[in-house]
Chains A and B, each alone.
Chain A
Amino acid sequence: MTKDKILAIVKTNLLDILEDVEEDAITSDKSMKDLGANSLDIVEVVSTSMRELKVKVPRAKLNDLKNIGELVDVLYEEVQAKADA
């Protein structure tokens, strides 16, 4: 699983959950709030992505994420840790 594939999963979920978001607008340097997500939307995107990837990111790691790229990074870490286990 590459970071690009994880970004694609997060993107798909963002496009499904948020109304009126263009695919091109979703980039790693943007936060979900920048795209119009409220806190419930953010939890839904993160939860759905975690379920799809079959990983659970500790909540403390999710609290300070600044943008979509950082979310992809923590998801990638968990995917790698699971693969190495």
Chain B
Amino acid sequence: MQRVGIEKIWVYPCSMSLDLGELAKARGLEETYPVNDLMMRSRGVSPCWEDPITTAVNAAKPMLSQEDIDSIELLIVGTESSPDQGKPISTFVHRFLGLPDNCRNFETKHACYGGTCAAMMAAHWVASGAAGDAKALVIATDQSRMHLGSPWEYVMGAIGVAMLISNKPDVLEYDLRDNAYWTKEVGDTFRPTSREEAGNTENSVYCYLEALEGAFAHYKQKHGGSVDLEQRFAKHIYHVPFAGMVKRAHRQLMRETRKMSRKEADAHFDEKVAGSLVYNSQCGGTYTASTFVALTGLLDQYKDLSVGDRISIFAYGSGSCAEFYSGLIGPNAYEAVARAAVQEKLDARYRLSVEEYEAVETERTSYIDMATYQPSREGLNDHYKRFYEGKGYLVLKGLEGHFRHYEWS
């Protein structure tokens, strides 16, 4: 097998944000509820001239050099938010990034596991050596549905994360023999129509914890029945439906493996996990991009990692499939993530009022499945002019007879 892993990573956290404390206040709850109960501060919001396609392209374009583009022979987009039931987002992404004609492309769907399965399939393709030095581009992109006033309104969001997967694993090297996985058919959360996101919150939390138990049991089995987490892993990343869930997941793992009390597990969480959530807690729901966003947070927050240090990653997708695997810190991990300047991008987002957010979400929902639509670029305090104009972002020009038209801003 060839060496393989993430060579580059880039995050596009959308161009607008909503403060979740303000949202809670507007809904008659304590302003501190999102931070105290969910460990979430804000969420990303896209204007209606963006969709999961532009988000994917805008995540990948700044990351790629021409040399990278010329070497890409595989493009996989992980998403549960595709606007089309047949034509994959990857076809648009391939076109607008100017990828070579001789490049496979497809979309993976498995709720929040879609990005991880895309990364793993790409990694196995690179590791096989069948494509020589060719590289894979993997993008995780998602857009939540509208949930105005619902209890789970605080865990919604939109995001794009791009990764170059190659035999030059500068950020994180995969150890593909060290992957454990677990599947169980459940109906915890799902998208039965193009407008709805359905499910049961409590059930999804049970399913997540059960999947962690199942995937970790497989991991232990691969290691002869037990794993010394402290010896093996420098840090831990978990799927982040919302940051507070990760704390519960880590407690479970610490109870099982080290018989820790809640207080001990929470102290361990602060030392080994909490830093990874710094960006997720500002992005809101990051769906299938969540563990990759967490990787950037981990590398920006914890400066005690050395090349070759092993971290654990737990990915989960409703429905369900889970993977517990590991990666080794690469030689340019800190530099690569610093270049992505995630906090800078988060700070540059236009902060919406609750009223503006509701108007944007209502407008976005109004054009789902419509054959013809043209997003207005007016309003939102001249957001288009300030953030987009002349900056070279991909934007949705409109729909005509269901054909999607895009242009550069």
Q: Which of B244-252, B295-303, B359-367 contacts A (4 or more CB under 8 A)?
A: B244-252
Cross-interface CB contact of B202 among A16, A39, A48, cutoff 8 Å: A39
Most interface-central of B213, B245, B248 (chain A CB within 10 A) = B248
A44 touches B248 (CB 8 A): yes
Using known A-B contacts A16-B262, A38-B37, determine if residue A47 contacts B202 with beta carbons closer than 8 Å.
no
A59 touches B251 (CB 8 A): no
Interface positions, chain B 45-74, Cβ under 8 Å from A, are: none
Q: B208's closest neighbor in chain A, by CB? A: A43
Most interface-central of A42, A47, A48, A62 (chain B CB within 10 A) = A47
Inside 8 A of A48's CB, which chain B residues have their CB?
Answer: 252, 255
Q: B264's closest neighbor in chain A, by CB? A: A16
Chain B, residues 245-276, CB within 8 Å of chain A (1/0): the string is 10010011001100001100000000000000
Using known A-B contacts A40-B205, A43-B202, determine if residue A17 contacts B213 with beta carbons closer than 8 Å.
no
Cross-interface CB contact of B209 among A16, A39, A43, A63, cutoff 8 Å: A43
Cross-interface CB contact of A47 among B206, B244, B245, cutoff 8 Å: B206
Asked if B203 is at the interface of the complex by the 8 Å CB criterion, the answer is yes
Chain A, residues 41-79, CB within 8 Å of chain B (1/0): the string is 011101110010000100100110000000000000000
Q: How far is the CA of A51 from the CA of B209 in the complex (A)?
A: 11
B37 touches A44 (CB 8 A): no
A40 touches B248 (CB 8 A): yes
Q: How far is the CA of A79 from the CA of B209 in the complex (A)?
A: 20
Using known A-B contacts A16-B261, A17-B262, A44-B251, determine if residue A51 contacts B256 with beta carbons closer than 8 Å.
yes
Cross-interface CB contact of A43 among B37, B206, B213, B256, cutoff 8 Å: B206
Asked if B201 is at the interface of the complex by the 8 Å CB criterion, the answer is yes
Q: A41's closest neighbor in chain B, by CB? A: B248
Inside 8 A of B206's CB, which chain A residues have their CB?
Answer: 43, 46-47, 59, 62
B255 touches A43 (CB 8 A): no
B261 touches A43 (CB 8 A): no
Q: How far is the CA of A29 from the CA of B273 in the complex (A)?
A: 37
How far apart are A10's CB and chain B's nearest CB, in angstroms?
15
Using known A-B contacts A40-B248, A59-B203, determine if residue A47 contacts B262 with beta carbons closer than 8 Å.
no
Chain A, residues 27-41, CB within 8 Å of chain B (1/0): the string is 000000000001110
Inside 8 A of A59's CB, which chain B residues have their CB?
Answer: 203, 206
How far apart are A6's CB and chain B's nearest CB, in angstroms?
18
Inside 8 A of B256's CB, which chain A residues have their CB?
Answer: 51
Inside 8 A of A46's CB, which chain B residues have their CB?
Answer: 206
How far apart are B325's CB and chain A's nearest CB, in angstroms?
22
Using known A-B contacts A16-B261, A16-B262, A51-B213, determine if residue A43 contacts B205 with beta carbons closer than 8 Å.
yes
Q: B38's closest neighbor in chain A, by CB? A: A40
Q: How far is the CA of A43 from the CA of B262 in the complex (A)?
A: 14
B37 touches A47 (CB 8 A): no
Most interface-central of B202, B213, B251 (chain A CB within 10 A) = B202
B203 touches A47 (CB 8 A): no
Inside 8 A of B248's CB, which chain A residues have their CB?
Answer: 40, 43-44
Inside 8 A of B202's CB, which chain A residues have their CB?
Answer: 39, 42-43, 63
Chain B, residues 285-326, CB within 8 Å of chain A (1/0): the string is 000000000000000000000000000000000000000000
Inside 8 A of A40's CB, which chain B residues have their CB?
Answer: 37, 205, 244-245, 248
Inside 8 A of A51's CB, which chain B residues have their CB?
Answer: 213, 252, 255-256
How far apart are A57's CB and chain B's nearest CB, in angstroms?
10
Q: B212's closest neighbor in chain A, by CB? A: A47
B252 touches A39 (CB 8 A): no
B261 touches A39 (CB 8 A): no
Inside 8 A of A39's CB, which chain B residues have their CB?
Answer: 201-202, 205
Q: How far is the CA of A48 from the CA of B262 in the complex (A)?
A: 11
Q: How far is the CA of A17 from the CA of B248 in the complex (A)?
A: 10
Q: How far is the CA of A23 from the CA of B323 in the complex (A)?
A: 38
17 CB < 8 A contacts A-B = A16-B261, A16-B262, A17-B262, A38-B37, A39-B202, A39-B205, A40-B37, A43-B206, A43-B209, A43-B248, A44-B248, A44-B252, A46-B206, A48-B252, A51-B213, A51-B256, A56-B210
Nearest 10 CB-CB pairings of A with B? A43-B205, A16-B262, A47-B209, A44-B248, A16-B261, A17-B262, A59-B203, A39-B202, A38-B37, A43-B206
Known: A39-B201, A43-B205. 11 other contacts (CB 8 A): A38-B37, A39-B202, A40-B37, A40-B205, A40-B245, A43-B202, A43-B209, A47-B209, A48-B252, A48-B255, A59-B206
